[in-house]
Amino acid sequence: MDFTVDVLWVWHIGGMEVWITRTIFNTWVLMACLVLFALFVRLRLHTFRDRPRGFQNAVEAMVELFDTFLKNTGGEKLMPLSPWFFTVFAFLLLSNFSGVIGLRPPTADWATAFAFALGTFVLIQVMGLRYRKGAYLKSFFEPNPIFFPLNLIGELSRPVSLSFRLFGNVLSGLILLSMVYQLAPVFLRFVLPAALHFYFDLFIGALQAYIFCVLSLMFIRGAAE
């Protein structure tokens, strides 16, 4: 079975071994795609019009979609976070979709999912401290100081559960598909994987990327209000 993360190269940088795994390589590929798209958008927008048409209209619609999403789900206060969630959603969506063209999705590695969940964790703390200051720290000791360990564990388990949800969904799809590719009879290898790719990569991938953003936003809103 080829769903394990294999090491492509080992670099020696300053006496330290740096393992370049397939996850890191695929992340670079997806990052290059996103950066190239961003540069393309920037170059196409050199003729900025006040009344958007065509390509500019599509790009503005994408940005506006996230602005309204932030306003509806997170409230007016969290509007500055819109670019962050746009970035996270774009990367997670592209990474979940990348299983369709045969890349190993970077989110099928727990490290990637946990990195994004850690970003959410940092945002929760920063936003809570920024908007509620002392009241946020006090909320750990409610309703009774005895509950402090429970509250702390509940707070620390958030990034873990958030990352496990994304990672488990993508990994289960990857394992099932690689089993189908290797174990199914030859005539089934042409039709069946297409349907499974559609469900596991496109549907579940889009749903999990959306749910990751919504849950992060709800956690941040819960801390900030």
Partner 1 sequence: MYESLALIMAAAHIAAAIALLNGLLTTFGQGKIVAAAIESIARQPEAADSVRGTMFIGLAMAETSGIYGLLIAIIMLFANPLVNLYLQQIP
Q: Which of positions 172-201 make contact with partner 1 (CB under 8 A)? A: 172, 175
The beta strand positions in the chain, using DSSP E, are: 7-13, 16-21
Q: Which stretch binds partner 1 (CB under 8 A): 23-31, 93-101, 137-145, 203-211?
A: 203-211
- Cβ closest to partner 1, residue 30 vs residue 209: 209
Least separation in angstroms between residue 172's CB and partner 1 is: 6
- Cβ closest to partner 1, residue 26 vs residue 208: 208
Q: Does 211 bind partner 1 (CB under 8 A)?
A: yes
One-letter amino acid identity for 40? Answer: F
Give the one residue of 161, 188, 189, 225 binding partner 1; rule: CB under 8 A: 161
Q: For residue 67, which of 225, 224, 217, 223 has the smallest C-alpha distance?
A: 217
Instruction: Specify the DSSP class assigned to residue 203.
Output: I
Q: Which tokens sit at 33?
A: 């795609």
What separation, in Å, do the N-terminal and C-terminal C-alpha atoms of the chain show? 47
The Cα 194–Cα 189 span in angstroms is 9
Give the one residue of 4, 6, 11, 53 binding partner 1; rule: CB under 8 A: 4
DSSP letter string over 90-125? Answer: HHHHHHHHTTTTTPPPGGGSHHHHHHHHHHHHHHHH
- Cβ closest to partner 1, residue 27 vs residue 163: 163
Give the one residue of 98, 169, 173, 224 binding partner 1; rule: CB under 8 A: 169
Q: Does 84 bind partner 1 (CB under 8 A)?
A: no
Q: Which stretch binds partner 1 (CB under 8 A): 9-17, 78-86, 87-95, 209-217?
A: 209-217
The answer for 10, left when phi > 0, alpha when psi is -120 to 50, beta otherwise, is: beta
The residues that touch partner 1, with contacts defined as CB under 8 A, are 4, 161, 164-165, 167-169, 171-172, 175, 207-208, 210-211, 214-215, 218
